[in-house]
Structure 1
C-alpha cells in the first residue's frame, strides 16, 4: 500500500512540475495574444486612412524618425504620398490641410491637446503654458501672462530689442567682419535671441553676445539631449518614469554648472528675488507682469524656462533660415537693397547707433515684410506634431472619419507648401507672392501662415515679440553687411526635434559702404 502511495505521489509531483513549467509559457502566450489582438484592434480602427505600413502597427517608425531629427521631412513626404490626412502611428495621424488645422484649433473646437504635450514639460514634474492640457488651467495661465507678452506692461520693450540687435551688430563687425574672419551665424543668431528673451523677460541679458560664447554649454547640451528628450512626445509614459524619485536625480538640476540645469538655477534665483519681501524687486518687465497678475513662484520658474528654451530657438531658426535664402537668391537680395535705398536706408542712415522702428519696417518696407512672411512659410520654425485629440463621438472631415481619441498632428512643411493656398510654386522661396496676389488669395495665404504660430486658444503668446525682432534684425544686418556662404554645397547643418537644431552656418561678411 505504501509503495502504491509513493508511486502516486511521484506522479503528482511530476504533474505539478509540468504545470509549473507550463505557467510561464501560458503567460507568454497570453501576453502575445493580447498584443496581437490589441494591435489588430488599433490597426482596424484607422485602417481607412492610408500611411506607411509599419506605422499602422507600431510606434517605432515615429520614434526612429523623431530621434534621427527627420520627422518634419518624413511626415511631409507621407502627406505628399498618401494625401492630406495620413496615418503615421497606431493611433496617430498627420495632416497638411490648413483648414483642418484651423478647424481643430478654433476656440470652440472640441479637440484637446493630446499626450504629445507632456513632452513639453521641460521639468517633468511641472507643467507650463505649453504643456498644460486642461483647458481651464491653460486659459487661467494665459490670462495671467497675456499682458506681459503683449508688451503693454514691459517698459521699453522695443528699445530692449534694439540694444540687443546693436550688440549683435557690434559683435559681428568688430570680431569678424572688419578682421575678415568667417563666423558661424547659426550660433550668433541664437546668442542674440537668448540675450533678447532674457532681457525682455527679467531685465538682464544672459551675456552670450558680450562673451561671444555658448555660456554654460547651454546650446551644445540642448543639441545633444533634445532629440532624446522628444521621445517623450511619442511615449508619454516616459515623463511619469522620469518624475519618479528613482530617476529624478538624473534630471538637470539647478545646482548644475552647465546646460539646462545651470539656466534653471539662474532663473530660479531671479524668480526668488521677485517673490522676496522687498516690493522694489518688482520691475516692469515680463516676469514682473506675470507676478502682478498672480503667477505663483513655481509657475513663474516654469514659464521663464519655457520662454528661454522655446522662444529663443524658434526666432533664431526664422532668422537663420531666412538669411540663408536671402543671400543665396540674387533677385531677392537685389530687390531688398533697392527697397532700402528707396526708403533712404543705408549703411550710415539711420546712424549706426539707431535701429529701424517696428512701425517703419511694417509700413515703409513692404518687400521686407514679404520676405519675412515667405521665410516663415518656407521654413516654419516649429515643426513638431503638436497633436490634438479627436473629441468624443469622433469627427468627419471632407468625408474622412476621424475616430474619437485619435491624435491628429500638424504637418508644418506640408501645410506651408499647400498648393491650394500658395500655388503650384509653393516649394519655391518667392516673396513676390505676398505682393502680387488678389485680396482673396492674400487672405487665404495669411490665414495659413498664421498657423505657424498655432491658432485660437493655443496661439503662441510670444508671436508679437518674435515678429518685432524679425522686423528689425534683417534690415539692420543687410543694410550694414554683405554676407557670403562659405560652402554653398552644405550651407548649414539642420536637424529637428520639434524645434530646429541648426549649426555650422559659416559665413564671411563684408562691410557695405
Structure 2
C-alpha cells in the first residue's frame, strides 16, 4: 500500500506541472504571440536550439516568419524593434537581467557580467570604469604593439613554409596574450607556442557551453555546479580553473609587490590592470576589495579573449570575401602613410582618423557580432509597452544583436557587406541615429561591455597593419561557427604571403 502511495507522488507532481503549464498557455494575456508550437509549454525547444550551437540564424529566421515578437519559451519572448531596444537596454533602464545569467557565475558568488542587482552592478562598474576608459587606452598600447610583433613573426613563419593555418585560432592566441599582458603584466605565451596552454582556451569554451545551457534551467545550477566541477571537461570545472588561475596571478603579483617593500612604487613601464587595482585597494580598502580583484581578472580572461578574437575573424573574413572593400582600405592606409598621418606601427589615434577603416570594422561587427543569443531581461513592476504590445511584470524579454543587425527595415540588403552604408548615413542624421540604436555588438546602456574600448584598441591596431603587410587567402567558401553565447569561428583556414609595404599590387 505504501509503495503505491510513494509511486503516486511523482505522478501527481508531473500531473500538477502539466496542468499549470497548460493553464498558463491557455490563460496567458500573451497567448496569441506566435512562435514554434512547443514553446508554449516547455523550454526544451529553446534548450535544444542552444545545444545545436546555431541559434543566431534560427533567431533571425523566427522573426522573418513570425514578425517583431516571437515566443521562445513559456513567458519568454524575443523582440526585434528599435523602440523596444531603447526601452529595455537604454540608459536608466529598470529591466534587470533574467535568471539565465545565474549560470554565468559560481552559485555562491556574484560577478560584474552576471549580476542581476541593478544597484550593485552600477556601484561595481564605477570601481572599474577608469581602467577600461578611452583615456586609459594610450597606456595599454605598448602591450598591444608587443603582441602584434610576435603575431606577425608567426605569420612570417607560415608564409615562409607556405603552410595553411586557422586564423581564428591565432586571433585568439593574440587576444589572450594581449589581455594577459594588460591585466597581469605578463603574456600567457599562446603566441609563442600556438597551442592551448594549460587548457585555458578549452576551459573558457566549456564555461560558455555550460553557462548558456544551464541558464535555461537556472534552478539546476546550484545542484549541478559542485559535482560537475569534479569533471575536468565540464564548464563548471572550467570556471573553477579560471578562478584558480586568476587567484594564482594575483598571489604572484602580491608577492612581487611585497618584495619591493613599497606598495606605491612607480614602475617605469606601462602599468597593468592588476597593479592599478592593487594600488587603489591599498589606498581605499573599503571601496576596492580582494574580491574585486578576482572578479575583474575573471571577467578579462573569460570574455576578453573570445570577443576580440571573434570580432577580428569577422572583420578579416568579410574583407577577404569582398576584394573591393579590401582594396579601398589598403588605398586609405597608403594615402595616410604618404601624407605622414600613418606611422609604421599605426597608433590608435591614427586609426580613429581613417573613415573607411572605421566603417569596415563597424559593418563587420554588424554582420558578425561576437554575441549571438538574446540578452534576456525581466519586465519590471507595472509592466511595459514594447513593440505595440503590453508585457506584464515578470515577463522575460530579449533582443539578439544578430536579429537587430539583420533587420531589413534598418539595414537594407542586410546580408551584404557594405561599409559604405555607414559613411553614406552620415549625411542623414535620423537614419544614422536609427542604425546606431539598432547596433549593439557590445551591448547597450548601463550593461555595455566593460572591455569594449580595449577590444576596439586591439582590432584598430592589428587590422590595418595586417591588410597592409600581408596577403591572406581563405581556403573555404564558408566560415563555420559555434554559438554558445559567443559566435565562434571553427574553421577559418587561410594561407598567407608577405606584401611589399605600401603596394596595392
Q: Which residue of 2 is the match for residue 511 of structure 1?
A: 498
Distance 1:219 1:119, change over 3 A: same
Aligned with residue 88 of structure 1, among 72, 75, 85? 72
Distance 1:298 1:402, change over 3 A: same
Q: Using the alignment, how far apart are the partners of 1:344 and 1:214 within structure 2?
A: 37
Q: Which residue of 2 is the match for residue 336 of structure 1?
A: 329
Q: Where does 1:4-403 land on structure 2 (aligned, <5 Å)?
A: 17=1, 20=2, 23-24=5-6, 26-43=8-25, 44-45=27-28, 46-121=30-105, 123-150=106-133, 152=135, 156-173=139-156, 175-223=157-205, 226-243=208-225, 249-250=230-231, 262-275=241-254, 277=258, 278=261, 279=263, 284-291=271-278, 292=280, 294-344=287-337, 354-363=344-353, 365-403=354-392
* 1:37-86 deviations in Å (ceiling 9; x for gaps): 21023323231211111111111111111111122222221111111111
Distance 1:335 1:302, change over 3 A: same
SS in 2 for 1:93: strand
Distance 1:21 1:179, change over 3 A: closer
Q: CA deviation at 1:455?
A: 1.7
Distance 1:85 1:304, change over 3 A: same
Q: Using the alignment, how far apart are the partners of 1:225 and 1:197 within structure 2?
A: 18
Q: CA deviation at 1:265?
A: 3.2
SS in 2 for 1:104: helix
Distance 1:474 1:269, change over 3 A: same
| Range moving further from structure 2, 226-235 or 302-311 | 226-235
Distance 1:112 1:396, change over 3 A: same
SS in 1 for 2:403: helix
Given that 2:81 and 2:387 are in contact with CA atoms closer than 8 Å, whether structure 1 keeps it comes out as: no
Q: Using the alignment, how far apart are the partners of 1:345 and 1:269 within structure 2?
A: 48
Aligned with residue 444 of structure 1, among 428, 434, 442? 434
Q: Which residue of 2 is the match for residue 413 of structure 1?
A: 402
Aligned with residue 422 of structure 2, among 434, 439, 464? 434
* 1:96-151 deviations in Å (ceiling 9; x for gaps): 22331221122322211110111221x44322100111112111210111111116
Distance 1:170 1:47, change over 3 A: same
Distance 1:273 1:29, change over 3 A: closer
Query: RMSD value over aligned CA atoms?
Result: 2.6
**CA radius of gyration, larger in:** 1
Aligned with residue 480 of structure 2, among 486, 489, 493? 493
* 1:146-183 deviations in Å (ceiling 9; x for gaps): 1111165677212211221222112111x201221111
Q: Any gaps of 5 or more consecutive residues in structure 2?
A: 282-286, 501-505
Q: Which residue of 1 is the match for residue 284 of structure 2?
A: none
Q: Any gaps of 5 or more consecutive residues in structure 1?
A: 1-16
Q: Using the alignment, how far apart are the partners of 1:454 and 1:160 within structure 2?
A: 26
Q: Which residue of 2 is the match for residue 461 of structure 1?
A: 450
Q: Using the alignment, how far apart are the partners of 1:270 and 1:96 within structure 2?
A: 42
Distance 1:374 1:345, change over 3 A: farther
* 1:313-342 deviations in Å (ceiling 9; x for gaps): 011111001101101112112211222222
Distance 1:405 1:387, change over 3 A: same
Q: CA deviation at 1:379?
A: 0.8
Q: Using the alignment, how far apart are the partners of 2:456 and 2:415 within structure 1?
A: 23
Distance 1:87 1:510, change over 3 A: same
Q: Using the alignment, how far apart are the partners of 2:441 and 2:207 within structure 1?
A: 25
Given that 1:155 and 1:285 are in contact with CA atoms closer than 8 Å, whether structure 2 keeps it comes out as: no
Q: Using the alignment, how far apart are the partners of 2:443 and 2:380 within structure 1?
A: 19
Q: CA deviation at 1:273?
A: 4.2
Q: Using the alignment, how far apart are the partners of 2:266 and 2:141 within structure 1?
A: 20
- Size of the alignment, in residue pairs? 480
Q: CA deviation at 1:290?
A: 3.0
SS in 1 for 2:337: coil
